[in-house]
Amino acid sequence: MPKTLNRSALDRVIAVINGKGGVLKTTLTANIGGMLAASGYRVLLVDLDPQGNLAEDLGYTDDERGDDGAALARALMFGGGVEPIKGIRQNLDVFAGGLQLDKATGGLAVMANKDPDEAKLAVARILEPIAANYDMILIDCPPGDETLQTAAVAAARYALVPVKTDKSSRKGLTAVAARLDAVLDINPTLDLLGVVLVDVGTPSQRKNRIVLRASEIDARKHIAELFNSDHDVVLTATVRHSEATAHATREKGLLVYELDEHVRKGPKWFEIRRGDAEASTLAPQAAGSVADDLKAITDEVVARITAAETQEQSA
C-alpha cells in the first residue's frame, strides 16, 4: 500500500511549466521567488531543469554547494531528503538543478514500470516533509521532459504557464494540459493558477504598437477558448520583451529588480555628458519597466492564491 501523502502541506507549491522552451519559465521562477523573499516570504525554489539556468539568474553558479543537481536526482530516484542551498537571498533557498537530473529521468521511467503513481509522486515526497518551512515553493520545470514535468505537477497545488503570443508558442499549452490531466487521479486539487503572456513586444512606432496590441488580444482570445472560454485564465499583467535586460541579469547573476536598483543608483545623464562619471554597462534602461512587469505578475499571483484560499475556507 502506498505511503499516505499530506496534500495540505503542499498547498503553496507552484509549478512553472510549458511544453516549449524559451518562454521565460526560469525568469519568472527566479524573479517571483526573489520578490516574494524580499517582501518577507520564506521561499524555496526547485530547479528541476537539467539546464540549471536558475543558478545563472540568481548568481550561484560558482557556489561550491552547487552539485549540478546530483542530490536532487538521487532523492528523486531513491527517496530521502535534499539539503537546499540556503541563503541565496535573504529568505530564499534553492534545490540546485543541472545535468545530473537527466539520470533522474531514466530512474523514474524504470520506477514507473513497477509503480507509476510513486514515480509521479517523487517530487511530492521530497517536498512534503519540508514544505512547512516555507510560505511559497516554486518549481522551475524543464521544457521537454515529460517525466520530470509530470512529477512537478503531481507535487503542485497550482500550475503557472508562461507563453508567448505567437501561434507556435501557444502550442505548448496543449502539452501542459496533457500533463495536468495525467496526474489528476493522484493530485485532484491541482489547479491552473493562470497563463502569463511573456516577451511581449514594445516598439516605439504607433502603428506597430497597434499591431502588437492586436496580437496580444488575439492570443488572449485563443487561450481562453482552449480553457473553455475562461477569459480570466490569462493574467492581466504581461512581461515585455527586453533582450538587453535578460542578457544583463544572467551575466551578473542579478534579479531584474536588483538590476533596476543599480540603474537608479547610477550616475545621471548630465554627469556622464560633462565627463564627471562614466555610463554603466551593467544595466539597460529597460530594466525598470521589466521589473515593474514582474512585480505586477508577482502581485497577481499572490492575489489569485489568496482569493482561492479564501474561497476554500468559506466553502
Domain extents for the chain? 7-314
pLDDT of residue 205: 42
pLDDT of residue 19: 81
CA dihedral 132, 146, 216, 229 (to 10 degrees): -80
pLDDT of residue 212: 55
184 grid coordinates: 489528476
194 grid coordinates: 493562470
- Architecture of the domain defined by 7-314: 3-Layer(aba) Sandwich (3.40)
Displacement of CA 131 from its chain's centroid (Å): 17
pLDDT of residue 209: 53
pTM of the predicted model as reported, rounded to 2 decimal places: 0.90
On the question of pLDDT at 102 being above 80, the answer is yes
pLDDT of residue 206: 44
Assign 275 a pLDDT band (cuts: 50, 70, 90).
Answer: low
Out of 17-31, 195-209, 288-302, which region has the weakest mean confidence (pLDDT)? 195-209
On the question of pLDDT at 90 being above 90, the answer is yes
Choose between 315 and 236: higher pLDDT: 236
pLDDT of residue 315: 73
